[in-house]
């Protein structure tokens, strides 16, 4: 399965009116898992690279609710870059894919939804270790 198939772009409905915009994201409906953890990254700039890891168990949906950023996703052989620049758009990232978030605009607020509670032991933070683990899975 290609990365594009594994990491679909998700589109969320814009329910706003003259009072303002409203976007609803529901776990198990708008995204393919129940939400267990939510965090966001802000006050970064275009020189900062976040992420730089893979997760053995966690799946994610990334949404730039303000500003924009890019996410590079790779399985060690194929790579894709997604520009997140609309609050009604996100990208789904399944477990065991390496991800880097970068090129943050000054006003960027990157919302991250996860299917697991935080567990540092499920993170792979060394790219060479990640490649070895991926090779062992094939």
Q: Catalytic: which of 53, 70, 72, 95?
A: 53
Is 53 among the residues known to form the active site? yes
Which contacts of 133-138 are long-range, i.e. CB under 8 A and separated by 24 or more positions?
A: 133/96, 134/75, 134/76, 134/96, 135/76, 137/96
123: helix, strand or coil:
strand
- Paired strand residues for 79: 74
Compute the distance between CA of residue 35 and CA of residue 20 in angstroms, rounded to an integer: 25
HSE-CB at 40 with a 13 A cutoff on CA atoms is 13
Phi, psi (5° rounding) for residue 6?
-70, -30
Residues labelled as active-site residues: 53
């Amino acid at each position: 399965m290609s990365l594009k198939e594994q990491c679909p772009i998700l589109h969320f409905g814009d329910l706003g009116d003259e009072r303002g915009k409203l976007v609803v994201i529901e776990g198990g409906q708008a995204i393919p898992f129940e939400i267990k953890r939510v965090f966001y990254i802000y006050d970064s700039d275009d020189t900062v690279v976040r992420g730089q890891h893979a997760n053995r168990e966690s799946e994610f949906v990334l949404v730039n609710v303000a500003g924009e950023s890019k996410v590079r996703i790779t399985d060690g052989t194929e790579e894709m870059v997604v520009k997140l620049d609309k609050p009604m758009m996100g990208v789904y990232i399944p477990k065991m894919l390496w991800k880097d978030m970068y090129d943050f605009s000054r006003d960027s607020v990157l919302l991250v939804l996860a299917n697991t509670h935080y567990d540092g032991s499920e993170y792979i933070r060394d790219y060479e270790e990640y490649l070895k683990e991926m090779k062992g899975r094939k």
